[in-house]
Structure 1
């Protein structure tokens, strides 16, 4: 689990009849690798974008280790640093969910409500974690790459026309 896991790629998921989403296959493999072959997905809020994040155990540990390193650097430089507050910000919003062999998982209701997620999400691998967007929000996020925004816009248009699932 010490190896850095990098998530790339993107995919859509429409909730099933039980409200579960499907984690894309390659991302599912990476999450399992990151979590010691367990089907544990950690969900949280993004610090700067209006989306949720998903990742495995190795990234959760990385978040903790990073705060410890920042605290050491601050002490060495004689600067104030509230490590407890930073741990609250980074770890306090994490919710653990399990996914089945098909990648189905129930998104935590607080996270769904925070981002207005109802019946569809867009998974976007961006390195150490996966961004999980409400598709309409991503389209409106002008800082996202145009290629990705256009892809999501086309999917939404097809869905409205009855073609995308």
Structure 2
């Protein structure tokens, strides 16, 4: 299957129950990568903690096999002669929870991942081709190794909401 790549960005308002909507451009790719069998809109998104940064990753269920194959190859290439391997690499990548999203892209952000990423009222979505990163905008701006243009995107969207970061 040809996979769509996640490109696009946007900000979502998170309600008190953790409901948030995936921005339209990213939602279209997600729906195309994981169409519902009954042909209706909506589907499933997997939400988990990012392996390095204090943000979340979101992806379609089809990406799980791709991610597993990459991690298996990494394990094979990095297992020492004594059989030692850093299994925390797989442990970090395995943290994900499948949640449904509706035709408008709304889903309920799982509680622990949301807590881990420090996501409050706003969630910044950023497509990075294979998956989508979901950030607390303030955390993103304070993360040193983030590209300046991505930080400015978050500032821009928050400014449009009347919030200065």
For residue 14 of structure 2, what is the aligned residue in structure 1? 15
For residue 135 of structure 1, what is the aligned residue in structure 2? 137
Q: Which moved more, 1:19-28 or 1:29-38?
A: 29-38
For residue 33 of structure 1, what is the aligned residue in structure 2? 32
Q: Which moved more, 1:59-68 or 1:111-120?
A: 59-68
CA 1:119 to 1:83, structure 2 compared with 1: closer, same or farther past 3 Å? same
Structure 2 CA distance, aligned partners of 1:68 and 1:30? 26
Indicate the structure with greater helix content: 1
Contact 1:5 1:58 in 2 (8 A): no
Contact 2:13 2:123 in 1 (8 A): yes
TM-score relative to the length of structure 2: 0.82
Deviations 1:99-125 (A, max 9, x none): 011111000000111111111100000
For residue 62 of structure 2, what is the aligned residue in structure 1? 58
Structure 2 CA distance, aligned partners of 1:86 and 1:140? 25
2:62 partner SS = helix
Q: Which moved more, 1:15-24 or 1:97-106?
A: 15-24
CA 1:141 to 1:86, structure 2 compared with 1: closer, same or farther past 3 Å? closer
CA shift, 1:79, in A, is 6.4
2:25 partner SS = helix
CA 1:67 to 1:19, structure 2 compared with 1: closer, same or farther past 3 Å? closer
What count of residue pairs does the alignment treat as equivalent?
159
2:11 partner SS = strand
Q: How does 1:8-157 map to 2 (within 5 A)?
A: 8-16=7-15, 18-37=17-36, 39-73=43-77, 78=81, 80-82=83-85, 85-91=88-94, 93-157=95-159
Q: Which moved more, 1:116-125 or 1:24-33?
A: 24-33
Q: Which moved more, 1:80-89 or 1:61-70?
A: 80-89
Structure 1: gaps of 5 or more residues = none
CA shift, 1:157, in A, is 3.5
